Amino acid sequence: MAQKPPLPNRKLKPATIAVHDGALRSQFGETSEALFLTQGYVYESMEQAEARFNNTDPGFQYSRFSNPTVSMFEQRMASLEGAEDARGTATGMAAVTASLLSWVNAGDHIVAAKALFGSCRYIVEDLAPRFGITTTLVNGADLDAWRAAVKPNTKAFFIETPTNPTLEIYDIAAIAEIAHKAGAKLIVDNVFATPIFQKPLALGADIVCYSATKHIDGQGRVLGGVVLGSKEFISGPLQMFVRQTGPSLSPFNAWVMLKGLETLALRVEKQAANAAKIADFLAGHPKIARVFYPFRDDHPQVALARKQMTSGSTLVAFDVKGAKAEAFRFGGALEIVKITNNLGDAKSLITHPATTTHQRLAPEARAELGISDALLRLSVGLEDADDLIEDLDGALRTI
Ligand SMILES: *Cc1c(COP(=O)(O)O)cnc(C)c1O
């Protein structure tokens, strides 16, 4: 039988948890977590199969419900986040969808910030209303707007902070308080902050979700997601939704994520240090009109960022002087930084949100979110910061 390798019975730091927690060791005594690439599990008897299905015999039944490698990832994520429980999903979007639709019903109301990852905005703005769930979108930084949006049937608040792509910061503790007063739950998509830099549950959020595709894998390989929260929620409605509708995390991807977690703290700390250095470089550059970085003193919410995060994040956004033509010329002249819409990778990646991730929005909606044609979003990788600065400087010379 598999065993949990013992860990000291005291509070461990995130980097230690991310290396060790949740491991299950088989009878072979392997050092590295095993990859259980199996769909099903063999029962010793018909009686055991019956007991497994009526929950009197603990154990695995089918990998759409649970799998040992996926369970290791879930346990490690729950410990890292300080959550009672976690459930892995096939993608970050599966995590967001499940965190809402597993328990919100027709006739209920959701309030969400306008500044959301494109697909998250689709879920709350287009998909949920098709099933009789109404949505109000608000400016997430305006606490009065949250209060004013509450209705008697409001069940969920949904935010992402820092936001994509302009790295706005929303006050998790204050928004959680408004949600709780209204009898609603606050869901936080914590992708940009990572579990290393921000702990939404400790600030009052009820449910946290991640695209593990981003920093948790961190090396651009596999898709995955995770939802975290109370044992009651995760093993109740969330588990039922995932088990019956099937957005389950593949054991292979869970194994890659487990290995990713081992280096998560190291990677994001280095990436954030690079990002801070690059933000300072860009802010002093004559071809740059504006820099968005949460820990810089010119960020409008720097005090709040420093209160609820332990780092300014691995992303930097900026407006070049000019418009689309200048942004395109700059992006096209980069030699180390790659053009792609992804983020959180060891490789530095650049995106022009107005023509890619936020193309679907009307120009007025983009303007409202501060997404100009001159805006670029840089996901800072693990390269040497000086090489990246030289690359950016060279490309800025072309405009
Ligand atoms: C990428 C991302 C998602 C979606 O994750 P996938 O793994 O691509 O499905 C959701 N929210 C945010 C903030 C993201 O960056």
Per-residue pLDDT of the chain (399 residues; tens, 9 = 90+): 788 888 999 999 999 999 999 999 999 999 999 999 999 999 999 999 999 999 899 899 999 999 999 999 999 999 999 999 999 999 999 999 999 999 999 999 999 999 999 899 999 999 999 999 999 999 999 999 999 999 999 999 999 999 999 999 999 999 999 999 999 999 999 999 999 999 999 999 999 999 999 999 999 999 999 999 999 999 999 999 999 999 999 999 999 999 999 999 999 999 999 999 999 999 999 999 999 999 999 999 999 999 999 999 999 999 999 999 999 999 999 999 999 999 999 999 999 999 999 998 899 999 999 999 999 999 999 999 999 999 999 999 999
Considering Cα of 142, then 167, then 309, then 249, what sign does the dihedral take? positive
The closest alpha carbon to 101, from 224, 2, 240, 232, belongs to 240
Strands 154-160 and 109-113: parallel
Whose Cα sits closest to atom 11 in ligand 1?
A: 117
User: How far, in Å, from the CA of 117 to the mean position of ligand 1?
Assistant: 7
Quote the tokens at residue 10: 């005291």
User: How far, in Å, from the CA of 301 to the mean position of ligand 1?
Assistant: 24
The closest alpha carbon to 376, from 328, 322, 317, belongs to 317
| CATH code at 267-396 | 3.90.1150.10
User: How far, in Å, from the CA of 361 to the mean position of ligand 1?
Assistant: 17
With a 6 A CB cut-off, is 91 part of the ligand 1 pocket? yes
User: How far, in Å, from the CA of 209 to the mean position of ligand 1?
Assistant: 10
User: How far, in Å, from the CA of 130 to the mean position of ligand 1?
Assistant: 22
With a 6 A CB cut-off, is 111 part of the ligand 1 pocket? no
Which of 114, 211, 257, 356 should be mutated for ligand 1, with most atoms under 8 A from CB?
211
| Residue 284 Cα distances to 76, 254, 278, 291, 293, angstroms | 41, 42, 10, 10, 13
H-helix or E-strand containing 260?
Answer: helix 251-262
User: How far, in Å, from the CA of 213 to the mean position of ligand 1?
Assistant: 7
With a 6 A CB cut-off, is 213 part of the ligand 1 pocket? yes
With a 6 A CB cut-off, is 319 part of the ligand 1 pocket? no
Quote the tokens at residue 365: 């909606």
Quote the tokens at residue 51: 């007991």
Give the position, in ligand 1's atom list, of the atom nearest the Cα of 94.
9
With a 6 A CB cut-off, is 77 part of the ligand 1 pocket? no
DSSP 286: T
Extents of the domains making up the chain: 14-262, 267-396
Local structure of 102: helix, strand or coil: coil
User: How far, in Å, from the CA of 211 to the mean position of ligand 1?
Assistant: 5
What count of residues does the chain have? Answer: 399
Class of domain 14-262 as given by CATH:
alpha beta
Whose Cα sits closest to atom 4 in ligand 1?
A: 92
Name residues whose C-beta falls within 8 Å of residue 344's C-beta, 6 or more positions apart in sequence.
191, 194, 213, 214, 215, 216, 217, 218, 314, 379
The closest alpha carbon to 215, from 52, 307, 317, 343, belongs to 343
With a 6 A CB cut-off, is 117 part of the ligand 1 pocket? yes
